[in-house]
Structure 1
Amino acid sequence: MYEFAPAAEAVLRRLVDGRTVDLAALADTAGLALEDVVGLVQELVAGQAAVVGSLL
């Protein structure tokens, strides 16, 4: 189970639709520092709640 800070909601909303989005766009959407969004996404990937794809 995950517990998230309220500020993470905007990031999570962008991720649940399954579309590809870059980290900078997530940070802009949420009004968070890029480093904070990177940390959140790292936790989601480590917990297998999200995957990182390739644009290639």
Structure 2
Amino acid sequence: MISNDDEVLAKVKGTCGIVYVFSDRVVISRKSITGFFGQGIKGDKTIYFKDIKVIE
């Protein structure tokens, strides 16, 4: 969830949505037309850095 109190450190726009980077998490937003057609109605995906165990 993105609120107005959060400071966005980085914002990367892709073909199917936008990735927002905060100090404690990453939010993947697919609220664009291409994101809807590519991924359907999934809403925002929030990944907290503390929950990441491995990166491949």
Specify which structure has the higher proportion of strand: 2
TM-score w.r.t. the length of structure 1 is 0.24
Specify which structure has the higher proportion of helix: 1
TM-score w.r.t. the length of structure 2 is 0.24
Task: Give the number of the structure whose alpha-carbon radius of gyration is greater.
Answer: 2
